[in-house]
Chains A and B, each alone.
Chain A
């Protein structure tokens, strides 16, 4: 079972209590009525979908109910860190390194052809 550390509950809880809420740190333009369709599309629809580290919003919906942010590796599904909503993006290089992950698709199944 994947455990996720909730920065408000201050402990690890089962993933069953959480809900993903899309990319984090997406600022709504303050001049939303003035921007072009292309700019609106970029803000509203376009996401990077990276292979590797992604910053996401998560919600502890069946716990404290709070939104918070997380840095997660999309390959290993490992959570690198979580932090409260409104806090700046953490410096991941300053985070303690975790053991190498082997549960990747490539490691288990071989590279997709």
Chain B
């Protein structure tokens, strides 16, 4: 009998896509779902080391830490180095609500000239560069799953979804990536 439970990433070992849109499971990261009023934004921004954006569909990044606007008082903060975001938010001293969702979410990196087409196979948003430029982010839907999209480069998106939806999302994205190659 095993002495220890082994943590397994939801999409561990998967690779997929096509030459037009490559799908790569993102490395584990820490994440918080952050809710706060406008008054708390300066202190939280200072404590987190990244300026919480206040405009719809925008994000801010500082190194490997990203703050994504999800709603008027809601952000998804991601740290690709796995830093303790809960402690950082708590150190702000400002009134806020932070929930650690590091293991609720997983992410898929979609990259290549067909990345937009692959994502649009299940997502209704206009992802053209004019309306969804580099740095733009949004909570939206992909097929029957809710996702959060972040455009990290002209041809690259970080697609966050809940881990229990990730096999579905990866499967549908694979189909979309195949279609994008034709």
State whether A66 touches B141 (Cβ < 8 A).
no
Asked if A37 is an interface residue, CB under 8 A from chain B, the answer is: no
Asked if B138 is an interface residue, CB under 8 A from chain A, the answer is: yes
Known contacts A64-B72, A65-B71, A66-B72; is-contact A9 B56 (Cβ 8 Å)? yes
State whether B71 touches A17 (Cβ < 8 A).
no
Query: In the complex, which residues 109-128 of chain B have their Cβ closer than 8 Å to any Cβ of chain A?
Result: 124-125
Known contacts A9-B57, A62-B139; is-contact A14 B71 (Cβ 8 Å)? no
Query: In the complex, which residues 1-42 of chain A have their Cβ closer than 8 Å to any Cβ of chain B?
Result: 1, 8-11, 13-14, 16-17
Asked if B164 is an interface residue, CB under 8 A from chain A, the answer is: no
Chain B residues positioned under 8 Å from A9 (CB to CB): 56-57, 138
State whether B72 touches A8 (Cβ < 8 A).
yes
Asked if A52 is an interface residue, CB under 8 A from chain B, the answer is: no
Contact-residue bracket for chain B: 10 to 19
Query: Within the complex, what minimum Cβ distance (angstroms) separates B167 from chain A?
Result: 20
Which residues on B are within 8 Å of A, measured CB to CB? 56-57, 70-72, 74, 124-125, 131, 138-141, 146
Known contacts A1-B124, A16-B124; is-contact A65 B56 (Cβ 8 Å)? no
Q: Can you list the 9 inter-chain pairs with the closest CB atoms, starting with the nearest?
A: A14-B124, A64-B71, A9-B56, A62-B141, A65-B71, A62-B146, A16-B124, A16-B141, A10-B56
State whether A65 touches B70 (Cβ < 8 A).
yes
Asked if A63 is an interface residue, CB under 8 A from chain B, the answer is: yes
Q: Chain B: which residue is nearest A14 at the CB level?
A: B124
State whether A63 touches B139 (Cβ < 8 A).
yes
Chain B residues positioned under 8 Å from A63 (CB to CB): 71, 138-140
Chain A residues positioned under 8 Å from B124 (CB to CB): 1, 13-14, 16-17
- CA gap between A63 and B31 in the complex, in Å: 18
State whether A65 touches B141 (Cβ < 8 A).
no
Query: Within the complex, what minimum Cβ distance (angstroms) separates A67 from chain B?
Result: 11
- CA gap between A77 and B22 in the complex, in Å: 39
Chain B residues positioned under 8 Å from A65 (CB to CB): 70-71, 74, 139
Known contacts A9-B56, A9-B57, A10-B56; is-contact A66 B71 (Cβ 8 Å)? yes
